[in-house]
Chains A and B, each alone.
Chain A
């Protein structure tokens, strides 16, 4: 059992998997490429959510705010200002990261359910704002923005694959670092952490901004892929809830939980949708309830507890 986790084998396994994923567009149909694009978009959303909320315990119910703000900024740059997508995406993400410093500074003082609700309020408020006619000269109001970024599907696929890979490496590095431990200490007992010399406000804001940046970058790619954005779509509560459910599914606070969750969730969703279209929501709900009842720590958490996986932070 132990050999299975030996460093070299793990690296070899990841290398083979990456080679397969990189070559994937050369032999797969558009349907499968599209499916993987969505899996990786949601992997980044879930991993980004987990990086902040899974480690600090501050439940962020405003993930769609990161996605929508960055999606809008990048879309408007591409559609109205003729920006090349490769530049528009990071500008959207960096913009989101920068305003998240201010948002975090204000909202990260509130804890628990109040923080969660205030993030929902921020998202809903921003959705309203982007849809008003007053801002229509900039945002196109509620009509939305159809656009073509001139990017081919394989290129888009490779971009999001690279982003998902980098995001997971960042999560891995953070979780096994002292910074990650400090975030967990905040989750466990914020006041005790503070009286042990941890600058909790600063650490929370840094984690919040890293999360905003990666989720924002994935959001920009997401809307470029959809060729369309409007306020309802960009700030949709489902963009917040789905990644959270995926993370719960895979294991909160683990490195590979969000990835596992995103892959399984999307595949189950896809199969149910294709096979039992009319009942899929009911069956899906049943699966979710079962998981939450019997595997509250998520799949990876459960496997760690049972000794199937080693109980270390790096997984």
Chain B
């Protein structure tokens, strides 16, 4: 039996003026998977995240989450349905403490929320800084805090925009290990990444975009062997 996809992108088009950021793009994301989203700059990867999270509206096409159409819904509604994201340029709340950064996202009773927030801070090893302002963290730590916020939201589908960029290799490995652990707990990930090593090493599947079109989709081995794609990507 085929599982119902967690996310279905169906014939999505998004234009900025004359430029097609996404050009009739379609694919499915299976629950519990880690998918890499690759492509050169301007291929439409971040635009796709913006469309899934409702920050932008597609010109045509449909987006379904667990079979329910979410096209045209407001970002907060989509977030509450279990879609979380991080940004390429980290966007935590600078003049709020780490604990506040998490509590503000949480739902429910205050005491339970604080407990949960502390658990998540321990998970990303930032519990010692709970009362510091987020602006006092290093770039890499802010990325971890941003991921903790998404977990606080209890998102099932997590969209990561270049999680490994700009952080040191040790932190990178820790981050990827954390992603695998969360994946085993049932979280689904879509990861935009420029570092092919990260994609090949950590994703089961990859989708390649170029000029807003899906040019390849498949297991990482297949993608890597695809000559035309490599040409686009590495400009051979």
Residues in chain A within 8 A of chain B (CB atoms)? 178, 181-182, 184-185, 188-189, 191-200
Given A181-B100, A197-B153, CB of A189 within 8 Å of CB of B75:
no
The answer on a CB contact under 8 Å between B149 and A196 is yes
The answer on a CB contact under 8 Å between B85 and A195 is yes
- Is B165 interfacial (CB-CB < 8 Å)? no
Rounded to whole Å, the gap between the CB of B128 and the closest CB of chain A is 17
The answer on a CB contact under 8 Å between A188 and B96 is yes
Partner of A191, one of B55, B94, B110: B55
- Is B181 interfacial (CB-CB < 8 Å)? no
| Distance between Cα atoms of A184 and B105 in the complex (Å) | 12
The answer on a CB contact under 8 Å between A200 and B76 is yes
B-side contacts of A188, CB under 8 Å: 93-96
Partner of A178, one of B53, B76, B79, B104: B104
| Distance between Cα atoms of A1 and B208 in the complex (Å) | 61
Given A196-B105, A197-B105, A197-B153, CB of A181 within 8 Å of CB of B76:
no
B-side contacts of A196, CB under 8 Å: 79, 84, 104-105, 149-150, 153
B-side contacts of A199, CB under 8 Å: 74, 76
| Distance between Cα atoms of A188 and B74 in the complex (Å) | 20
- Is B129 interfacial (CB-CB < 8 Å)? no
- Is B21 interfacial (CB-CB < 8 Å)? no
| Distance between Cα atoms of A194 and B79 in the complex (Å) | 8
| Distance between Cα atoms of A194 and B95 in the complex (Å) | 17
A-side contacts of B153, CB under 8 Å: 196-197
The answer on a CB contact under 8 Å between A184 and B96 is yes
A-side contacts of B96, CB under 8 Å: 181, 184-185, 188
Of chain B, the residue at the smallest CB distance from A192 is: B91
B-side contacts of A195, CB under 8 Å: 53-55, 75-76, 78-79, 84-85
The answer on a CB contact under 8 Å between A198 and B104 is yes
Of chain B, the residue at the smallest CB distance from A199 is: B76
Of chain A, the residue at the smallest CB distance from B131 is: A311
Rounded to whole Å, the gap between the CB of B143 and the closest CB of chain A is 13
- Is B80 interfacial (CB-CB < 8 Å)? yes
| Distance between Cα atoms of A199 and B80 in the complex (Å) | 10
Given A178-B110, A198-B76, A200-B76, CB of A192 within 8 Å of CB of B92:
yes
| Distance between Cα atoms of A62 and B91 in the complex (Å) | 30
- Is B34 interfacial (CB-CB < 8 Å)? no
Give 15 CB contacts A-B under 8 Å: A181-B100, A182-B104, A184-B93, A184-B96, A185-B93, A192-B91, A194-B79, A195-B54, A195-B75, A195-B76, A195-B84, A196-B79, A196-B105, A196-B150, A198-B104
Rounded to whole Å, the gap between the CB of A112 and the closest CB of chain B is 17
| Distance between Cα atoms of A311 and B64 in the complex (Å) | 45
- Is B103 interfacial (CB-CB < 8 Å)? yes
For chain B, give the interface size range: 20 to 34
Given A181-B104, A182-B104, A184-B96, CB of A194 within 8 Å of CB of B91:
no
| Distance between Cα atoms of A251 and B153 in the complex (Å) | 32
Rounded to whole Å, the gap between the CB of B107 and the closest CB of chain A is 8
- Is B87 interfacial (CB-CB < 8 Å)? yes
Within 8 A of A (CB), among B129-153: 149-150, 153
B-side contacts of A194, CB under 8 Å: 55, 74-76, 79
Given A185-B104, A188-B95, A188-B96, CB of A197 within 8 Å of CB of B110:
no
Known: A181-B96, A194-B55, A197-B105. 14 other contacts (CB 8 A): A178-B103, A181-B100, A184-B95, A185-B96, A188-B93, A189-B92, A191-B55, A193-B104, A195-B55, A195-B78, A196-B84, A196-B153, A197-B76, A199-B76
A-side contacts of B91, CB under 8 Å: 189, 191-192
Of chain A, the residue at the smallest CB distance from B150 is: A196
A-side contacts of B110, CB under 8 Å: 178
A-side contacts of B100, CB under 8 Å: 181, 184
| Distance between Cα atoms of A184 and B92 in the complex (Å) | 12
Within 8 A of A (CB), among B198-225: none
| Distance between Cα atoms of A188 and B133 in the complex (Å) | 12
B-side contacts of A181, CB under 8 Å: 96, 100, 103-104
| Distance between Cα atoms of A182 and B91 in the complex (Å) | 15
B-side contacts of A193, CB under 8 Å: 93, 104
Of chain A, the residue at the smallest CB distance from B106 is: A178
| Distance between Cα atoms of A194 and B78 in the complex (Å) | 10
A-side contacts of B149, CB under 8 Å: 196
B-side contacts of A191, CB under 8 Å: 55, 75, 91
Of chain B, the residue at the smallest CB distance from A182 is: B104
Of chain B, the residue at the smallest CB distance from A313 is: B100
Rounded to whole Å, the gap between the CB of B101 and the closest CB of chain A is 8
A-B CB proximity, top 9 nearest: A188-B93, A197-B79, A192-B91, A181-B104, A194-B75, A197-B80, A196-B105, A195-B75, A185-B104
